[in-house]
Every structure is written in C-alpha cells, then in structure tokens.
Amino acid sequence: MNLPNMKEAQKRNITPTKYIYEERIKSDIFKGRKYSIKTYGCQMNVHDSEEIKALLESMGYIECDDYEKCDLVILNTCAIRENAHDKVFGFLGRLKHLKKTNKNLIIGLCGCMAQEEHVINEIREKHPYIDIVFGTHNLNELPSILKNYYGKQDIEVYSKEGDVYEFGNLYKRDSKYSAWVNIMYGCDKFCTYCIVPYTRGKQRSRKSIDILKEVKELKEEGYKEITLLGQNVNAYGKDLDGEIEFSELLKKVSDIGIERIRFVTSHPWDFTDQMIDVIASRDNIMPYIHLPLQSGSSRILKLMGRRYTKEEYMTLYNKIRTKVKGASITTDIIVGFPGETEEDFKDTLDVVDACKYDGAFTFIFSPRENTPASKMEDTTSLSEKEDRLQRLNEKINSYSKLSNEKMLGTVQKVLVTGISEKDSNKVCGYTENMKLVNVEAPKDVIGSIINVKILEAKSFSLDGIIEE
C-alpha cells in the first residue's frame, strides 16, 4: 500500500517536493527502462501525460514509441463518452497479447476512467493483466507505485481530491514553443450529462503566484505561447476566497509579456464584461474563444443544468464578437440529449446560423454512469440522433469554410510549430485566431512568428506564402 506523498513527507518532516526528489534519487534501478504513454481525451490529459513523462524520466526511464520494446506502457484515459472506454479496452487487448512474449511488460492505466468505480471493478474482475492503476488525484504517486510493484495488480486510486500542491515546473513538454499551464483542477458545475466533476473532483484553483512563476519560467525558456488550462477557466479563483478572479489573472499573465496567451475552456455563465475588456485590450491575449453552447434550446439547457438560456448565450456571444475584433469563436454541441425534440434541435440549428461559428466539436449524447442525465428518459432513436448530428455537421462545416474564406488575401501572424502533416515540404502553425496554416517556408522558421499571406481556404485549414 502506497501512502500519499504528503503523509510520507510529513513523517520525514520534509517538503513534498523534497520527498519526490529523494525518492527519485534512490530509484536508479529504473535507469534505461523503456516506456510509452498513450493519451486519450482532452488537453488536460495531454498535459498530465507531460507530467507523467517527466516523473518517469527523472527515475531513469527512456521514452520509446515502439510498444513491443517497452517495459512499461501507460494508458492515460478519458471517460467523457462511452466510445472512449471501448477504445481503451480494445488497445488493452493488444497489450495483453504482447505480455506473452514480453513477460516483464508492466501495463498501467490512469486518467478519468481510472476514477470510475465500475471500471475499477471491471479491471479487478476481468483484467488481471493490467498491473498498476492510479487516478487523477494521485498522478505524482507513480514513482512510488512502480517502486513498490511486485507483480501483483496494484490499484491506487483515491476517491477524494486533495488540495493543490506545487511540485515545481515538472513536465516533459511536447512542444518547445507552446506550453500548457494548468490554472485549476476539477469542476464544480455538475452539468447533468458530464462525468468530469466526478472523475476530476471539485474545482481547485492554483495560487496566482505559482501560475505567474511558471509563466515567467516558460518565457525565460523561450516559449512563445502559453495556454491557460482548466475545465472551466473563467471560474478561476472562485474557490480562493476572493483573492483573485480570471480577468485579474489574465492581466497579470499578460503583463509578463509572453507573446501569445490562450485559455480553454470557458463557461458562458462565468464570462464577465471585465474578461471581455481585458481580452479586447491586450495584444498578447489571442482573439480566440472556445465557448461551449451544448444546446440551443433553453428547455434542454435547463435540463443540462447549464445556467443560461439561448437568449443569454446569444447576448454574450454578440458582445464578444463586437468587442474582440477579429475573434474566432468555436463551440461544443451535444445532440440527442434525453428528451430533445426536433423543435429543440431546430433551436440549436438557429443558434448555429446566428453565430456562424468558426468551428465546432459536435457529439451525440452518451449516458455516463451515475450522472443525472443517464437516468432521464430518452426516447429518440440512435438513427434520429445520427441524422441530427449529420445535419448539424453540414452547417458547422459550411460556416467554418466561410470563416476561413474571410481570411483570404489577409496577412496573418503565424507561430510556426512544426512540419505540415499534409505536405513535408511545408511547415505549419496557428494564426492569432487559431486557424491552422500550411506554408511553404524553410524549416528554420519553426519556433518563430512569421507573416503569412493567406492564398487558399479549405474547410479545416489555410494555405499561404511567407510575406517578408
């Protein structure tokens, strides 16, 4: 049984950071062992994997992208929809076979699925080949879990989140130019369809002093862009006894002078006029806002527990469009929520027509165990839901193409992040308003912000040439 680092640290009368450090120093038995992490789901998981990688590498593990050669494979999972569960167990089946030839392979599972009770039970009963399981609340336990592992399935998941502890800037970041910065963990909104408040726990904001320190360090390391990360970023600080709110944090982060600041995800209910004013008035806060709608029907929004009506959402949307010049606004929409009628769905299409989103992620409602919506009566057939999704996507795609076409002929500042996936002769990057651009340019521009003239607009990307 692994005790939480906090308790161990207290016992030894040392700080948690020192505890982790000491543990690592002692653990050179892991030197040269190979690991791989497969990450599912949202940016939060991507960023957690960056932390897991740093923890493993500080123990001596080396990253390896060939699963067959690995000593340790970790699946960082997502629980937001049912298909995420199916994908994970499909992949686990493949790993199980690898164990026949690689007897020392350790299979680990973490992330939101690991916080679900029925998944834990399923693992205990049916999947003995999964060696270690740890939850979203005790990521940092991984080194001690591995050290204590002796061949018997070890499930170390805490049902309750702890406070926010600072372990320093300990990440193996995927990019050298653009970095994620957690500003909060968990979510208190309890939208009736959503599992996140159960898997990630209640909202816990990091102290602004720690966030600002991390951003300063990233700037010094040469990062050009940071994205402030949280399930509900604009509720930041509400759990900190009024110390600071999101618009204040944005100002302070902006003052540090890093070139580009982004943030995801915002909840319409927490969006204030002050936030809009700060975004509009600061050049280094990027004009890109992800503003999940979920449904355009006020009746369904109420059932979802979203705390706004169609009209209130539209008022906010128009305010942002008017004040933040050249902003891109994207959204998330769920179709087929229990009880959604054709009339309700038409309300969603109405909002899409009115907002002409720059892009959207669209989903069919997926009942999640123990959420209120999973117990609501749902009489709409799957084929009807699929039909709604298709009709919605056609609209969304046409508006996204339209929004890209508006960029034609303009000159955009693009932060070049790597080689284009579509054409290895090109590099790619993002405009200030978060449009993906492919551009013919020498590779040495990777990592810098260049001017690009937009010559072609596709549905999901733009093509351009360098403008000196």
Residues engaged in binding ligand 5AD (CB under 6 A): 80-81, 193-194, 292, 294, 332, 334, 363, 365-366, 368
201 touches ligand SF4 by CB under 6 A? no
Q: Specify whether the CB–CB gap between 259 and 448 falls below 8 A.
A: no
Q: Which does 261 bind (CB under 5 to 8 A by kind): ligand 5AD, ligand SF4, none?
A: none
Contact 309, 301 (CB under 8 A): yes
Using CA atoms in the order 404, 405, 410, 411, what is the torsion angle rounded to 10 degrees? 30
| Interaction partner, residue 365 (ligand SF4, ligand 5AD, none; CB < 5-8 Å by kind) | ligand 5AD
Smallest gap from Cβ 347 to ligand 5AD, in A, equals 16
Quick check: 44 binds ligand SF4 (CB under 6 A)?
Answer: no
Q: How far apart are the first and last CA of the chain?
A: 61
Q: Is the peptide bond before 265 cis (omega within 30 degrees of 0)?
A: yes
Helices (H), 282-339: 298-304, 310-323
267 touches, from ligand 5AD, ligand SF4, none (C-beta below 5 to 8 Å by class): ligand SF4
- The yes or no reply on residue 361 touching ligand SF4 (CB under 6 A) is no
Q: What is the CA radius of gyration of the chain?
A: 23
Distance from C-alpha of 160 to C-alpha of 106, rounded to nearest angstrom: 26
- Partners of 260 in beta bridges: 225
Our finding on whether 187 is near ligand SF4 (CB under 6 A) is yes
Cβ proximity to ligand 5AD, 162 vs 372, nearer residue: 372
At 55 the three-state DSSP class reads helix
Residue 78 sits in the site that holds ligand SF4 (CB under 6 A)? no
Region near ligand SF4 per CB under 6 A, out of 20-28, 183-191, 312-320, 335-343: 183-191
310 binds, among ligand SF4, ligand 5AD, none (CB under 5 to 8 A by kind): none
Footprint of ligand SF4 on 234-273 (CB under 6 A): 267
Helix runs in 62-207, H state only: 82-101, 117-126, 142-148, 196-199
- 232 and 190 in contact (C-beta within 8 Å)? no
> Pick from 9, 44, 191, 437: which binds ligand SF4 (CB under 6 A)?
191
Q: Which is nearer to ligand 5AD, 193 or 308 (CB)?
A: 193
Closest CB to ligand 5AD: residue number: 332
- Residue among 190, 322, 448, 460 that touches ligand SF4 (CB under 6 A): 190
The Cα 420–Cα 427 span in angstroms is 5
Cα 223 to Cα 174: distance, rounded to the nearest angstrom: 12
> What is the signed CA dihedral for 131, 201, 87, 339, rounded to 10 degrees?
150
CB of 231 to ligand 5AD, least distance (A): 9
Q: Does 189 bind ligand SF4 (CB under 6 A)?
A: yes
CA distance 147 to 68: 22
Stretch that binds ligand SF4, among 116-124, 188-196, 250-258, 447-455 (CB under 6 A): 188-196
Q: Are 331 and 290 in contact (CB under 8 A)?
A: yes
Q: How far is the CB of 409 from ligand 5AD (least distance, A)?
A: 34
Q: Does 229 bind ligand SF4 (CB under 6 A)?
A: no
Which residue ranges make up the site for ligand SF4 (CB under 6 A)?
A: 187, 189-191, 194, 196-197, 231-232, 267
